[in-house]
Structure formats: structure tokens, C-alpha cells
Amino acid sequence: MTREAILQSSAKEKEEDRALRPQRMSEMVGQQDVYERLMIAVDAARKRNESLGHILFDGPPGLGKTTFALCIPRELGVSVQLASGPGLKAPKDLVPYLTNAVDRSVLFIDEIHRIPRAVEEYLYTAMEDFRIDLVLGEGINARTHNLWLKPFTLIGATTRAGMLSGPLRDRFPIREHLSFYSVEELTEIVQRNARKLEVKIEAKAAREIAARSRSTPRIANNQLRWVRDYADSRADGEITLAVARAALEMAGVDDLGLGRQDRSYLATIVRVFGGGPAGLDAIAHTMNLEPDTLEDEVEPFLLRTELVVRTPRGRVVTAKTYQHLNIQPGQGAAGELQRKLF
Ligand code: ADP
């Protein structure tokens, strides 16, 4: 594929992503308790004509933090500004967002755990008193001005609530943890989105995609899109159970929903570290990946499904891993393992 075609397809994917993302809170599937608490807070703020309290969402990637954050301003009927933690390197990067915030509007900061301490501290008075200190001029002419902001709502999203300092966390009166989705909930999401994409899908096929989606809506959506492409190219466009299975198999997604990267992680512990214990950094180096990527994107599901356990001395694979990979403990070093897994 040419570079242009890749770019076009990624732009198309982004557009489809937007099309699949629920626009209103009532379109969100699951997370019922979070939904209800947020609706009460939104309703109360609307009735009192006040800005909504600051909200912190935490949880693994792809569970709906951004989606909730973008639905809230729509429910409130206010505007939203989007910022990302890694882009806010110094307080001056934050100033335009704060001064542009109109009354009761929302400022969404994704990956808020990645803002440096100085930016975090700058947020304290902005969040608490809607006030910031601006330094104007340089050297001996520098003057600090106190600037009042319009009351706004900060919504932060993080995959690492533990990396946020206590004082910042405490300034969010509403903190919500998003949890993983059931197969039923994901089946519902797959069926709704198949309708949005105007593709016919068998109920069993929707469930098969859901069951292999690692309890995560973003993965369910990505897999649905791939299965749809496969159905268009290799079948008559309808997603039957057989089509869904063949497509997912071709993408390297197994019946537990593990992808090549997950199996490679498990195989690395078995092959290189004799089943563990192995330290996160050592596994990451061997796989040529960032430890953060492993910890945020690979391990949560493997820990939850008990394929791996964390011990004080490192990660250890369980009997379930040997069973799932269909290998015997001690078989690690053989080239056989490589052949079986990939
Ligand atoms: P996060 O910000 O937690 O990484 P997102 O909010 O970007 O995750 O969600 C990823 C995708 O999953 C969204 O584009 C949306 O289509 C879908 N999604 C997430 N949560 C839900 C939900 N509760 N109901 C329906 N779709 C959802």
C-alpha cells in the first residue's frame, strides 16, 4: 500500500471511530453505576446553573474514558477544549486553555498523569479558586498578575491513577473508575455498531467477536471493522459465525482474545525466563517494547485472566498459560514453542 493510501485509510478509520463513538450518555452501554452518578451530578449542575465539579476518570485504555468525557459537555450544553498531558510541558502551555475557557465549559486533559509537577501545581489554584498567576514581562520588569478565570470543569483521564499526586487527585470531587465489560455488553456494542456500519451480522458472530475482545469496547470495534473488511473481501458481505472466526484467526486473535503481542509476552517469560519470575523491565527489553506499554496494554488482561501472576520477585506464568499455549513446563527453549505459537 502506498503511504498516501495508508494515510487515507487511517483518516477513514478515524472518521469511522467518531461515527461509532456514542454521542450521548444514554447511548453508552454498561458502566451503569458510573452513568447514574454522572447523570445526577450533571442534572444537579444544570438545575443550579453552576459549573460541574471536576471529574477524574481512570481505568485501562479503550474502556470509554474519552467517550464519557466528550458526552458530558453535550449533556450540559457547553463547549469543550481538548488537551493531552504530554503536550502540556510547562505552565505556559496550559494558560491558553484556561484563559479561553468560557463559563461552565469543559477542559478535557487526556493522559493527565503525564503532566509535569510544575503544570500540576499551576492547576491547583485554577481548579480550586478559578484563579491563576500570570508573569508578564521579563527580568526586573517581570510582574505577577492575578487573573480570574471563568468557572470551568476539568475532566482528566488516566490509565495510571497511582501516578497522580495526592493533592491533584484530591482536587477532583468526582472520581470514577471504569471497569471491564461483560461479553453481553460487548455483544450489544458490536450489534449496535454493525447497524451503524450497515453490515449484516449473525447474533452468534457478534458474540464471538465480543468474547475475543478482552472485555474492551475499543478492541471490539477494531475487530468488528476487520471482520467486516474480511466479509466484504472473502465472503458476500454478511458476518456469519464462520466468517468471524476465520477473520479473527487470520488476524492472530485466539479464542481467549489474545493477540500476537500477548502470546509473545507469555512465550518470552516461558522461553527466556523459564516461566518466571521475571522483572517487567527485563521482559520489556527482551521484547523491545516500553515497560509502560506492557504494563498498561498487555498485562492487565493477562493478570485478570490469571495467565500471569505478579509476585514480589517478578511475573510468573501459571498452569493456565501452559495449557492455553499447549506446551509443557520446561519446553521453553525449544524452537518447537516458536512454531506452535505463531
Ligand atoms: P479510553 O478513553 O478509555 O481509552 P475511549 O472512550 O476512546 O476509551 O473508547 C474507545 C472506543 O470504544 C470509543 O470510540 C467508543 O466507540 C467505544 N466505547 C467505549 N465505551 C463504550 C460504551 N460504554 N458503550 C459503547 N461504546 C463504547
Q: Among 149, 177, 205, identify where a domain stops.
A: 177
Q: Which of 218, 250, 282 is the last residue of a domain?
A: 250
The Å distance, Cα 20 to ligand 1 centre, comes to 9
- Same domain, yes or no: 49 and 137: yes
Mutate which of 18, 55, 58, 63 for ligand 1 pocket (most atoms within 8 A of beta carbon): 63
Q: What nine digits make up the cell of 301?
A: 488482561
Same domain, yes or no, for 217 and 300? no
Instruction: Say yes or no: 246 and 266 in one domain.
Output: no
The enclosing domain of 280 has a CATH number of 1.10.10.10
Residue whose CB lies within 8 A of the most ligand 1 atoms, among 18, 25, 67, 178, for a mutation test: 67
Residues 114 and 61 in one domain: yes
295 and 337 both lie in a single domain:
yes
Mean pLDDT value of segment 265-287 = 95
What CATH number should be reported for the domain holding residue 135?
3.40.50.300
Q: What is the DSSP letter of 63?
A: S
What is the number of the ligand 1 atom nearest to the C-alpha of 57? 3
Q: What is the DSSP string of 296-320?
A: IIIHHHHHHTTSEEEETTEEEE-HH
The verdict on the CB of residue 332 being under 6 Å from ligand 1 is no
For residue 207, report the distance from its CA to the centre of ligand 1, in Å: 18
* 111 neighbors 85 (Cβ within 8 angstroms): yes
Helices marked H in 161-256 — which ranges? 166-170, 183-196, 203-211, 217-234, 241-250
Residue 341's pLDDT is 54
* Reported confidence tier of residue 328, pLDDT bands at 50, 70, 90: confident
Our count of domains for the chain comes to 3
d(CA 341, CA 230): 23
Convert the pLDDT of each residue in 195-215 to its tens digit: 999 999 999 999 999 999 999
pLDDT in tens, 112-156: 999 999 999 999 999 999 999 988 878 888 888 899 999 999 999
61 lines ligand 1 (CB under 6 A): yes
Task: Quote the percentage of the chain above a pLDDT of 70.
Answer: 92
Grid coordinates standing for 42?
Answer: 450533571
Catalytic residue IDs? 65-66, 110, 159, 218
Together in a domain, 231 and 268: no
Asked if residue 2 is part of any domain, the answer here is: no
Residues 330 and 278 in one domain: yes
Quote the CA–CA distance of 144 and 20 in Å, as a whole number. 46
CA of 140 to the centre of ligand 1 (A): 50
Task: State how far the Cα of 217 lies from the Cα of 159, in Å rounded to an integer.
Answer: 15
Across the range 302-314, mean pLDDT stands at 94
Last residue of a domain, one of 124, 159, 177: 177
Q: How far is the CA of 64 from the centre of ligand 1 (A)?
A: 4
Kindly state if the Cβ of 300 falls inside 6 Å of ligand 1.
no
The CATH number of the domain holding residue 205 is 1.10.8.60
- Verify that 121 and 220 share a domain, yes or no: no
| pLDDT-based confidence at residue 329 (cuts at 50, 70, 90) | confident
Q: Same domain for 115 and 77?
A: yes
Quote the Cα angle for 278-213-282, to 5°: 15
131-136 and 143-148 strand pairing: antiparallel
C-alpha cell at 11: 483518516
How far is residue 82's CA from residue 108's CA, in Å, rounded to a whole number? 5
Among 282, 229, 308, 174, smallest CA distance to 16 is for 229
Contact between 270 and 317 under an 8 Å Cβ cutoff? The reply is yes
Residues 37 and 156 occupy one common structural domain = yes
220 lines ligand 1 (CB under 6 A): no
CB 29 less than 6 A from any atom of ligand 1: yes
DSSP string, 235-298: SSS-B-HHHHHHHHHHTT--TT---HHHHHHHHHHHHHHTT--B-HHHHHHHHTS-HHHIIIII
Q: With 90 as the cut, is the pLDDT of residue 8 above it?
A: no
Whether 152 is in a domain gets the answer yes
Range of the domain at 93: 31-177
Ligand 1 proximity of 218 Cβ (cutoff 6 Å): yes
Read off the pLDDT band of 12 (50, 70, 90): low
266 in any annotated domain:
yes
Q: Report the largest interatomic distance among the alpha carbons of the chain, rounded to a whole angstrom.
A: 74
First CA to last CA distance, the chain:
24
Same domain, residue pair 102 and 240: no
Per the CB < 8 A criterion, the answer to whether 99 and 252 are in contact is no
Q: Is ligand 1 within 6 A of the CB of residue 30? A: yes
Residue 8 covered by a domain: no
Residues 44 and 164 in one domain: yes
Q: Which of 195, 198, 190, 192 lies closest to 248, judged by CA?
A: 190
What pLDDT sits at residue 287? 96
Q: Is 181 helix (H, G, I), strand (E, B) or coil?
A: coil
CA of 222 to the centre of ligand 1 (A): 11
The rounded mean pLDDT for the chain is: 90
What's the length of the chain?
342
What b/e readout covers 168-189, taking b as 16+ CB neighbours within 10 angstroms? beebbebebebebbeeebbbbb
The closest residue, in CA terms, to atom 9 on ligand 1 is: 64
Give the number of the atom of ligand 1 that is nearest the alpha carbon of residue 30.
23
Residue 219: count other Cβ atoms within 10 Å of its Cβ: 22
Does residue 13 belong to any structural domain of this protein?
no
In a domain, 117, yes or no: yes
Tell me whether residue 124 is exposed, middle or buried, using C-beta atoms within 10 angstroms of its C-beta: 0 to 12, 13 to 18, 19 or more. middle
Determine whether the shortest distance from the Cβ of 185 to ligand 1 is under 6 A: no
Q: What is the pTM of this model?
A: 0.87
pLDDT of residue 16: 66
- List CB contacts of 328: < 8 A, sequence separation 6 or more: 322
Tell me the C-alpha distance between 80 and 68, whole Å.
13
192 located within any domain: yes
Q: How far is the CA of 266 from the centre of ligand 1 (A)?
A: 27
On whether residue 21 sits in a domain, the answer given is: no
Closest C-alpha to 120, from 99, 90, 145, 97 = 90
Residue nearest to atom 20 of ligand 1 (CA): 64
Give yes or no for residue 63 CB within 6 A of ligand 1. Answer: yes
